[in-house]
Structure 1
Amino acid sequence: MWDFSIGKTIGILLKTMPFIITRMVIYFVITLAFILATGTGAGIGYGVGSLSDSPESFAVWGGIFGMGLVGTAVYWAREWLLYMVKAAHIAVMVKLIDGEPLPDGKGQVAYGREVVTARFGEANVLFALDQLIKGVIAAITGLLGGIAAFLPIPGLDGIVRFANTVIRLSMTYVDEIILGYNIRTGSDNAWESSRRGLVLYAQNGLKMVKNAVWLSVFLWILSIVVFLMALAPAAAIVYLFPGDLAALSFIVALVFAWAFKAAVLEPFAIAALMAVYFDTIRGQVPDPDWDAKLTGASEKFRALTEQAKGAFGGRAITA
């Protein structure tokens, strides 16, 4: 079974309600932008297509173009979302997981941003660090998945492939967990503390993967439920668009489910896994063998090590 407490994790989310509301506003505004862009694009496409024999096809392509435009904007806004929202939320959750009181006279969102700014400085530093961590996660996934290949069980190929797929899917929130570890340590060198956090995660990887798999199952079930519940209202909204755009109701419901997952379910998973991680690594030091494995397997880990050597005050000297 899992090692996290569902009740305690829900309690942490309730205590960080200002962040949950902020995330819901941001992601549901994004959902509304998708809907409006789709409707506007479909309307323009239908108007242009009315000069031809198939205005419906033009409406479909217009709707797709509108959604693609918003999707591109969201992609470019990911650095801001990471820095201003996700990292600040994690900073507050770390305090609550450790049972520490939040400072009086200051809002949670302002406090979280203050911690992140003091820890990482500018957004591009945190974003660059996050990208290196994501690269190392791929190596950890391969190393953990490779363990199954050496099990002396005949006909294990299919099971190994399935296990590797499960491991990859369950590693979604590792970068957020390492970010939480980074904030928790308060080290002057964010690159080095991230490197240590990754080694600690890898040496406890099987336990972390077990809990991550359970959380993935919970989150996907809930996301599917939300998606199915959103289909009917999405179809009603798309019905107002010009042309026959029934297929787009599926996409709108999918975007709504994604927004709910990002606003509510992801913080739950991050809080639960951080609590398991902090409890698991208590009293541990990074294993030199795992350090060597990651150094040999990951170019990103080697780059993280180089940044740690050349960093001052947690920020790289080089541009």
Structure 2
Amino acid sequence: MTAKEIFHKTMPFNIAKLALGGLTVLLSALLFAILMGIGWLFGEGGMIVTFIIWIFGTGFIRFVIMHYLGYLVKAGHIAVIAEAVTTGRIPDNQVAYGKAQVTKRFLTSNIYFAVDKLVSAAVKQIQKAVGKVGNALDFIPGMGAVTGLAQFFVSISLGYVDECCLGYTFYQKEQGAFKSAADGVVIYAQNWKPLLGSAAKTMLKVILLMVVVALGIFVPIGLLFKVLGWSPLAAFLLACLIAWVVKYALVDSYIMIQMMTVYMGVAPNTQITFDLYSKLCGLSAKFKELFQKGKEEPSQPSYAAAGTAPAPSPAAAPAPARAETKPVFCGQCGAKNEPGTKFCGSCGARM
């Protein structure tokens, strides 16, 4: 199923996002009218003060609505997208399915928020580390522009990697949410080439879509307010809010589906190399925290086995002789050990 098909078939979630964005705009507009009325009573100085208050008030309204409602709508949408990409079908009652999957996977919204924040912070820290490597080559003529453009591609891709990792948690149901999210970050790191290529295409789409959105919103609203003789500032602010709603509900959803389609296409077939965990832990304190929380989750599969697949049934288990010929990775520190090692040579933990 293509990204375009998934976008159209999961339209109920996009409509829900439009509704939440519309509610944000409505409350912000009402707050603006009230505060500007109060400021008008106190003259120009009062207008400036109430305008500053309105900016902070609008930010608070957006935070409350998007944090407690928007995040859960996005999580349900991600669950349905993951199902569509991996199975090729959309659940009959997709809204109910998404809600059930989020409740089953994360138990409470607080767990979902914690996983999402840790993943987002981790990939940002990893991005900064990559950026430092690029900056070290700035002495080469023209390299600054190349690395800057590359980092821009990466920043777009990393902007949606948390959604991709959350999608992987819905796919990898036999593991805890923190463990699956940590695996998701590693899978992203191992498949950076196809995902970076998708990010480059996504960048072009973002620019084109935002130009269309800006012209389609700012021009008619500006003309309307000019004809009616209303405040140009109010027209600009209203246009900004509406453009943000369209971007949040439609543009961001389409980009998220594009990235998840590529990511979920390679994730199920990716064999995780556990030595990459220690490297990412060294680059990001937040990833290390995510990794540690994954190890603390109850009923987790052994970290000593390399690979993402669940433990096979006894009938399908590989021959013991084959396991002895492969290196063993420590579940505590990720260090590589010789076959048959009982205790890790790096940290001493039992294998």
* DSSP 3-state at the match of 1:113: helix
Aligned match for 1:310, one of 284, 296, 317: 296
Letter of the aligned partner of 1:10 in structure 2? K
| Change over 3 Å in CA distance of 1:222–1:130 after alignment to 2 | same
CA shift for structure 1 position 157:
3.3
Find the aligned partners of 1:237 and 1:72 in 2 and give their Cα distance: 29
> Which residue number corresponds to residue 33 of structure 1?
27
Q: Does 1:197 align with 2:184?
A: yes
Shift of residue 119 of structure 1? 0.3
Task: Measure, in 1, the Cα distance between the counterparts of 2:17 and 2:184.
Answer: 26
- Tell me the equivalent position of 1:81: 69
Distance in 1, Cα, partners of 2:192 & 2:11 = 31
The one of 192, 213, 227 aligned to 2:200: 213
Change (3 A) 1:313 1:26: farther
C-alpha separation in 2, matches of 1:258 and 1:247: 17
Task: Flag the structure with larger Rg.
Answer: 2
Counterpart in the other structure of 2:83? 95
Question: For this pair of structures, how many residues does the alignment match?
Answer: 299
Residue 125 of structure 1 corresponds to: 111
Distance 1:313 1:61 in 2: 55
* AA of the residue aligned to 2:196: V
Q: Does 1:137 align with 2:123?
A: yes
1:272–1:166 distance in 2 versus 1, CA, 3 Å:
closer
Relative contact order, CA 8 A, sep 6+: which one is greater? Answer: 1
SS of residue in 2 equivalent to 1:186: coil
Q: Is the 8 A contact 2:28 2:61 kept in 1?
A: no
CA distance in 2, matches of 1:238, 1:33: 20
2:58 corresponds to: 70
Query: Does 2:158 correspond to 1:171?
Result: yes
Change (3 A) 1:286 1:204: same
Change (3 A) 1:64 1:248: farther
CA-to-aligned-CA distance 1:66-106 (integer Å, 9 cap, x gap): 343122122133332354200001111111112344454xx
Q: What runs of 5+ residues in structure 2 fail to find an aligned partner?
A: 301-351
Partner of 2:14: 20
| Distance (whole Å) between structure 1 residues aligned to residue 108 and residue 191 of structure 2 | 31
In the alignment, is the contact (CA less than 8 A) between 2:118 and 2:287 conserved in 1? yes
Query: In terms of mean alpha carbon deviation, does 179-188 or 275-284 score higher?
Result: 275-284
C-alpha distance 305-177 of structure 1, shift in aligned 2 (>3 A)? same
**Preserved CA contact (<8 Å) 1:24 1:260:** yes
List per-residue Cα deviations over 1:133-157 (Å, max 9, x = no partner): 0111013313444564677993223
Given the superposition, is the C-alpha separation of residues 170 and 237 from structure 1 closer, same or farther in structure 2, using an over 3 Å criterion?
farther
Q: Is the partner of 1:235 in helix, strand or coil? A: helix
The residue number in structure 1 matching 2:305 is: none
User: What is the identity, as a one-letter code, of the residue corresponding to 1:98?
Assistant: T
1:257 aligns with 2:238: no
Which residue pairs with 2:349 in the alignment?
none
Give the TM-score, by structure 1 length.
0.83
Partner of 1:293: 279
- Name the CA shift for 1:206/1:153 in 2 (closer, same or farther; >3 Å): farther
Q: Between 250-259 and 85-94, report the one with greater CA deviation.
A: 250-259
Query: Alpha-carbon deviation of 1:293?
Result: 1.7
1:214-265 superposed Cα distances (whole Å, 9 cap, x missing partner)? 21321232123212222244436767999x7423422321221111011011
Q: TM-score, normalised by structure 2?
A: 0.76
Distance, in Å, in 2 between the alignment partners of 1:165 and 1:275 is 21
Gap change, CA 1:250 and 1:162, over 3 Å in 2: same
Matching residue's letter, 1:304:
L
Are the aligned partners of 1:12 and 1:93 in contact in 2 as well (CA < 8 Å)?
Answer: yes
Measured at CA, do residues 48 and 232 of structure 1 come closer, stay the same or move farther in structure 2, by a change above 3 Å? farther
Query: How far apart, in 1, do the equivalents of 2:18 and 2:238 lie?
Result: 16
Overall identity of the aligned pairs, in % = 28
Residues 102-136 of structure 1 deviation map (CA, whole Å, 9 limit, x = unaligned): 454xx322221111000001111110111110111
What pairs with 1:154-169 in structure 2 (closer than 5 Å)? 154-155=140-141, 156-169=143-156
Determine which structure has the larger helix proportion and give its number: 1
Cα RMSD for the two superposed structures? 2.8
Aligned residue number for residue 317 of structure 1: none
Contact 1:141 1:167 in 2 (8 A): yes
- Distance in structure 1 (CA, Å) of the matches to 2:96 and 2:51: 38
